[in-house]
């Protein structure tokens, strides 16, 4: 199995969090699936927020599904930083991000 540099870095982070290699690979596959699905559709998923609460979200990164007044602007696009997943949240009609290693499930 070939992995990217980003996946290798994620594998190390997950391993440092105490996940066995098999669990870490499964988490990377789950994150890849989420990212792929967010690009083309609305996706329901859950993650642990920075404050420890569980957040259930319905989101996307597919620009065709995002209201025109909420599309990212080239000069003011917020960055979430490496290791985070950015998405448009349909519940609050705004952009959010979360730490990728905190993904719990795709619903």
Q: Using 50, 70 and 90 to split pLDDT, how confident is the model at 77?
A: low
Establish how many alpha carbons lie within 13 A of residue 51's alpha carbon, considering only the half-sphere containing its beta carbon.
2
Phi-psi region for residue 13, left (φ > 0), alpha (ψ -120 to 50) or beta?
A: alpha
Quote the pLDDT of residue 73.
77
Q: Output the pTM of the full model.
A: 0.83
More confident site: 81 or 93: 93
Average pLDDT of the segment spanning 81-86? 88
């Amino acid at each position: 199995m070939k992995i990217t540099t980003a996946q290798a870095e994620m594998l190390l982070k997950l391993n440092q969090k105490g996940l066995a290699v098999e669990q870490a690979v499964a988490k990377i596959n789950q994150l890849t699936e989420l990212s792929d699905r967010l690009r083309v559709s609305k996706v329901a998923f859950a993650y642990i927020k920075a404050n420890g609460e569980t957040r259930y979200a319905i989101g996307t990164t597919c620009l065709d599904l995002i209201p025109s007044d909420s599309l990212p602007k080239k000069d003011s696009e917020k960055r979430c930083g490496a290791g985070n997943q950015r998405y448009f949240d349909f519940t609050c009609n705004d952009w959010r991000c979360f730490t990728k290693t905190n993904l719990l499930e795709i619903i």
